[in-house]
Structure 1
Amino acid sequence: MKKELTEVYCGSAKGKTTLALGHSLRAAAEGKSVIIIQFLKGKETRSVDFLEQLDDLDIKIFRFEKRDCCYDDLSDEEKAEERSNILNGLNFARKVVVTQECDFLLLDEILGVMEQGIVSVETVADILRQKDESMQIVMTGSNLPEGLRPYVDTVIRLTEDMVGNDSEQQ
């Protein structure tokens, strides 16, 4: 069996989620089961829900946040409420990895969850340590913490002008 990778799409440019969703769609077209968990985006990203409606593709999308707007636009009180929902999403991600519930897992904006201080790098590293070689994981966000580097096979950095794009293989 081929060892599946853990990949990160990060950087300052837009398009990380779009790239990851394209990768998810390709995996589903290859017959793999796909779970997408979106963080920090609220319910406003319903525009990707059509993926679940594609016949013959096994794609499931989950959002645990209750607010319509993204996390950065919330008041401090609203952020406190959403933290609990985000932690529920992270616990679900852990369950998906431990139980091998899918072949391809996209943790969209998980790096931002760490950057916001909602969860520690160690918490996410613990989830990645439980990954079986048959599962592919893609994570997105702006910055990859150094503490996750040992658990990541490929890093794709998207920059505004893409001149500084570096693809690293370990």
Structure 2
Amino acid sequence: MEKGIVQVYYGTGQGKSAAALGQAIRNASQGRTTTIIQFLKSETNTEYLSKLEPEIKLFRFERSKESFAELTDEQKQEEILNIQNGLNYAKKVLGTGESDLVILDEILGVVDEGIVPEQDILCALEGRSYSTNVILTGLNITKGIFEIADSVLNLKPEK
């Protein structure tokens, strides 16, 4: 059995989530399963992803239609609880090995916003099933996540 890898797609450029989705589709075409857990995504049209089930499963734990930065303090507290539930679910999926690939979309933003400490993400990654591959996306990468990652891609605009 091959050891799973951790990839990170980060940077100010667009296409991080799309690149991760491309990997999910590639994974599905090889008969493998993917779980995508989205964080800090304002209301987006994800209906098309439901057509990719059961190989690709999508989970969003946030309830708000606005982006996190636009929420009131009270709404932010509610969303923080939802995001923490999402991270707990991610830990479960990572630990059980029920998916060949787990994509934690915009998880780096959760650390940026101070919602979850870097250490919680590192513990989730360290507790993953041996063969599970993981992709993390977001704007900024922390030193600890950089060090634990097998592959880091910085997407930035050039023009």
Range into which the TM-score falls when normalised by the shorter chain: over 0.9
TM-score by length of 2: 0.94
Is 2:84 the counterpart of 1:80?
A: no
Report the Cα distance in structure 1 between the residues aligned to 2:101 and 2:65, rounded to whole angstroms.
Answer: 26
* Cα displacement string for residues 120-152 of structure 1 (whole angstroms, at most 9, x for unaligned residues): 000000001112331110000011100222321
TM-score by length of 1: 0.88
Q: Tell me the CA shift for residue 98 of structure 1.
A: 1.1
Which residue matches 1:24? 24
Alignment equivalent of 2:50, drawn from 49, 52, 60: 52
**Code of the aligned partner of 2:125:** L
Which residue matches 1:3? 3
Which residue matches 1:127? 124
SS of residue matched to 1:7: strand
Report the Cα distance in structure 1 between the residues aligned to 2:106 and 2:48, rounded to whole angstroms.
Answer: 20
Give the gaps of 5 or more residues in structure 1.
163-170
Which ranges of 4 or more aligned residues in structure 1 deviate by more than 2 Å? 1-4
Report the Cα distance in structure 2 between the residues aligned to 1:63 and 1:20, rounded to whole angstroms.
Answer: 16
Tell me which of the two structures has the higher relative contact order, counting C-alpha pairs closer than 8 angstroms and 6 or more residues apart.
Answer: 2
Alignment equivalent of 1:140, drawn from 131, 137, 143: 137
Q: How does 1:151-166 map to 2 (within 5 A)?
A: 151-161=148-158
Report the Cα distance in structure 2 between the residues aligned to 1:118 and 1:67, rounded to whole angstroms.
Answer: 16
* Cα displacement string for residues 48-103 of structure 1 (whole angstroms, at most 9, x for unaligned residues): 33122137x51110000111122122122211110000000000000111111210
Which residue matches 1:40? 40
SS of residue matched to 1:139: strand
Give the gaps of 5 or more residues in structure 2.
none
Q: Is the 1:49–1:61 Cα contact (8 Å) retained in structure 2?
A: no
Q: Is the 1:52–1:58 Cα contact (8 Å) retained in structure 2?
A: no
Report the Cα distance in structure 2 between the residues aligned to 1:23 and 1:76, rounded to whole angstroms.
Answer: 36
Distance 1:39 1:88, change over 3 A: same
Aligned-pair identity in percent equals 42
Q: Is the 1:37–1:107 Cα contact (8 Å) retained in structure 2?
A: yes
Quick check: 65-74 or 151-160, which moved more?
A: 65-74
